[in-house]
Chains A and B, each alone.
Chain A
Amino acid sequence: MKNKNGRYLAKKKKKFPMLWFFLILIALLLIGIVLIANHKEEPQTILGNDVTESKDNNQNTNSIAIPGYEAITLAANTKKQSTALKNPSHNMCLFRISLILEDGTVLWVSDYVKPGEISDNIELSKELEPGTYPNSMLKYECFTMDGNLSPLNGAETKLTLIVK
């Protein structure tokens, strides 16, 4: 293209051509960070999820349903597990669940789990070597849902931890 004087005009350079690239890159990074921060790992195994929920609409005030297992399987050499536990929906109390080894080592304590809800994935206090850990225990502490968190009758169910 020529100007009035018949000279060729230099091709107009785009201002900050890389700026848009970096802006888009930063935006994508921010979106990624937000998505990762909001991502809650879905448990692969939900213990207690197969419980008959026939009493869903008829919550039971006279008894507390405590899930029990002969054994549960955990992954070796990692604290983060893909297993979670459920408070049966027909209960009328909060659960606080602890996983305890035979020697008394507390491997995990859940937050308060409402009826029908699932705990966070188990995150152990220490990594376990592969093997079987007999006489381990799931301790269920039960609390009222009236805001006072008054302790109710609870249960302890013995089980074997299979770590592999």
Chain B
Amino acid sequence: MRKVISVILAAILIFSIPTTVSAESTTLTIDVPEASYILNVPANQAIDYLASEKNIGSITVSDTSGFSASKGITVSVTYDGQFATPKYACAINYSLVCKGTGSENRYDLKSGDYITFTGNADGTLNNNPTLPDGSPANELIVLIDTDCWDTALGGIYSTTITFNADVYFDVGM
């Protein structure tokens, strides 16, 4: 019995000795970080009765990482252009504009239009978005079709805007 045990122990000892590798190899790895961000979009806002427009604030980004000079995000808006109420079939029409530079400079932001946040070499995003024509994009303004006030029946009207973010790569082609 002792012989059997000694043979087993010897075998364990032999197999536990690390073997020498005759040729060593080196693996080189590169970890390209994936981009992540927080998109800050305008929250709900009450609009005054008979108002013709309402500034609902800006689209901004924060906690951005993993971007580059050729990698940023586009944010498009989707909306149906109508404040609706469940009580009646009537609606109050509206459209969106984006303030550019100066108070008079406004860009029609139709449903599907987008603004761009370009990336920086340090991995963050530039928090000064641009419109498709390259001009700065500032606050979003809801323009209300004031003719609708005359025909609107009493009730609470609401609408939602969906903001669609997409990481883009500018491959310089």
Residues of A at the B interface (CB closer than 8 Å) are 50-52, 60-71, 88, 92-93, 144, 150-159
B43 lies within 8 A of A68 (CB): no
**CB 8 Å contact bits of B139-173 with A (1 = contact, 0 = none):** 00000000000000000001011111111000000
A66 lies within 8 A of B160 (CB): no
What residues on A are CB-neighbors of B166 within 8 Å? Answer: 157-158
Q: In the complex, A52 Cα to B64 Cα: how many Å?
A: 10
Assuming A65-B38, A153-B162, A155-B41, what are 4 further A-B pairs, CB within 8 angstroms?
Answer: A64-B42, A69-B36, A155-B163, A157-B39
- Whether A66 contacts B41 in the complex (CB less than 8 A), given A71-B34, A151-B160, A158-B166, comes out as yes
B158 lies within 8 A of A150 (CB): yes
- Whether A65 contacts B39 in the complex (CB less than 8 A), given A71-B34, A155-B163, comes out as yes
Q: Which of B14-22, B55-63, B97-105, B127-135 contacts A (4 or more CB under 8 A)?
A: B55-63
A69 lies within 8 A of B34 (CB): yes
A69 lies within 8 A of B35 (CB): yes
Interface size for chain B: under 10, 10 to 19, 20 to 34, or 35 or more residues?
Answer: 20 to 34
Q: Is the interface of B mostly helix, strand, loop or mixed?
A: strand
Q: In the complex, A47 Cα to B162 Cα: how many Å?
A: 21
- Whether A66 contacts B167 in the complex (CB less than 8 A), given A93-B43, A153-B44, comes out as no
Q: Which of B41-76 contact A (CB under 8 A)?
A: 41-44, 57, 60, 62-63, 66, 73
Q: How far is the CB of B94 from chain A (nearest CB, A)?
A: 14
Q: How far is the CB of B79 from chain A (nearest CB, A)?
A: 9
A155 lies within 8 A of B162 (CB): yes
A158 lies within 8 A of B62 (CB): no
B41 lies within 8 A of A68 (CB): no
- Whether A62 contacts B73 in the complex (CB less than 8 A), given A69-B36, A150-B158, A154-B160, comes out as no
- Whether A68 contacts B39 in the complex (CB less than 8 A), given A52-B63, A158-B167, comes out as yes
A155 lies within 8 A of B164 (CB): yes
B162 lies within 8 A of A66 (CB): no
Counting chain B CB atoms within 10 Å of each CB, which of A60, A64, A92, A151 scores highest? A64
B41 lies within 8 A of A153 (CB): yes
Interface pairs (25), CB distance under 8 Å = A52-B63, A62-B42, A62-B57, A63-B40, A63-B41, A63-B42, A63-B60, A64-B43, A65-B40, A65-B62, A69-B35, A69-B36, A70-B35, A144-B44, A151-B158, A153-B41, A153-B43, A153-B161, A155-B41, A156-B165, A157-B164, A157-B166, A158-B164, A158-B167, A159-B167
A66 lies within 8 A of B43 (CB): no
Q: How far is the CB of A46 from chain B (nearest CB, A)?
A: 13
Contact partner of A63 (CB less than 8 A), chosen from B57, B73, B167, is B57
**CB 8 Å contact bits of B95-117 with A (1 = contact, 0 = none):** 00000000000000000000000
